[in-house]
Structure 1
Amino acid sequence: MVSTESRQRRLALLEEHFASEVEKEFDRTVATFAGPPRYEIMATGQVHDGEEAVLAYHRAQRAAFPDQRHENVRMHVADDTVVAEFDLLGTNLGEFYGGPPTGKAFRVPVIAVFFFEGDLLTNERIYLDVASLLGQIGRTDLLGLAAELGR
């Protein structure tokens, strides 16, 4: 069972993690990991492993969705993970997978599982409905690409 102190340290670390992503301070985001950062996007099978890959992922996301943010964040603490449920919002104002911006906004529910060793973050695994996101921003032409990435 996770101690109260460990729970508080993990939640404080994740608060910093979320804030740094929204504030586009990705060096701060990377610093929330114990070692090389790792993001797994389950809907597409994409894995961003290591500092350069994670920074490139964040920069591409914020180029496409500069106002991307989280709302309604709820945290559930377990022994070696914290599960975060939240709404992810943004507006497609930049190039996204080679296509021009649509100017359309999205809101999708997300579950992110954060893995810990002690109080140190080791991995973020993200579950989201990519089809809903693509439909909301008017880019259903990318559904085939999302399926290909998942193989």
Structure 2
Amino acid sequence: MVSPEIIAVREKTLAAHLEGESRKDVDAVLATFSGVPRYELMSVDKVIDGRDEVRKFLQLFFDSMGPNEHIGEAFYHSPSATAVEVLTVFPHGFDGNQTGQVIKVRSVGVFTFDGEKMLAEKLYADVTPLVPFMPWLTDA
């Protein structure tokens, strides 16, 4: 069981993480990790590990997309992780150039924790529709 105090801290951290992603603020997102940050993109079997690599990934990711908002819709807590159902809304298409074409992408992020310290994000999303905009997603 996870205490209400730990849940509150985790959800505050996750809100800051999602807000940083929405603002495309690499430093804000990095600040939500404790220790060595790590992303695992499960649908393309890609792991990004370490502060420099995660920084590079985030900057490339943010530069590839237009304005967006990441909305945490539901949170599920376990002793070692919090799963978050996320709705990402691109109000002008993925790359921001399709005015009036709203794109919505649903995903689940499984954020691993050591108590209240966030260690990593495992992203479960079908990113294949995004590959034309970000071909580097499938690079080894």
TM tier, smaller: 0.7 to 0.9
Task: Give the share of equivalent positions with the same residue, in percent.
Answer: 27
Q: Which of these two proteins has the greater Rg computed from alpha carbons?
A: 1
**Aligned partner of residue 92 in structure 1, secondary structure:** coil
Partner in structure 2 of residue 114 of structure 1? 111
2:125 and 2:11 map into 1 onto residues whose CA distance is 22
2:89 aligned with 1:92, yes or no? Answer: no
Kept in 2: contact 1:114–1:124 (CA 8 A): yes
1:37 and 1:49 map into 2 onto residues whose CA distance is 6
Instruction: Describe the shift of the 1:72–1:14 C-alpha distance in structure 2 as closer, same or farther (beyond 3 A).
Output: closer
Partner in structure 2 of residue 70 of structure 1? 70
Amino acid corresponding to residue 11 of structure 1 in structure 2: E
2:28 and 2:67 map into 1 onto residues whose CA distance is 18
Partner in structure 2 of residue 27 of structure 1? 27
2:6 aligned with 1:6, yes or no? Answer: yes
Partner in structure 2 of residue 82 of structure 1? 82
Gaps of 5+ in 2: none
**Aligned partner of residue 95 in structure 2, secondary structure:** coil
Give the superposed CA RMSD: 2.5
Partner in structure 1 of residue 125 of structure 2? 128
**Aligned partner of residue 43 in structure 2, secondary structure:** coil
1:25 and 1:130 map into 2 onto residues whose CA distance is 21
2:23 aligned with 1:18, yes or no? Answer: no
Amino acid corresponding to residue 103 of structure 2 in structure 1: F
Partner in structure 1 of residue 52 of structure 2? 52
State the shift of 1:92 in Å: 3.3
1:55 and 1:105 map into 2 onto residues whose CA distance is 28
Length, aligned pairs only: 135
TM-score by length of 1: 0.77
Partner in structure 2 of residue 61 of structure 1? 61
**Aligned partner of residue 61 in structure 1, secondary structure:** helix
1:19 and 1:63 map into 2 onto residues whose CA distance is 16
State the shift of 1:68 in Å: 2.8
Where in structure 1 do 4 or more consecutive aligned residues deviate above 4 Å? none
Gaps of 5+ in 1: 95-101
1:86 and 1:33 map into 2 onto residues whose CA distance is 18
Q: Which shifted more, 84-93 or 1-10?
A: 84-93
State the shift of 1:105 in Å: 5.2
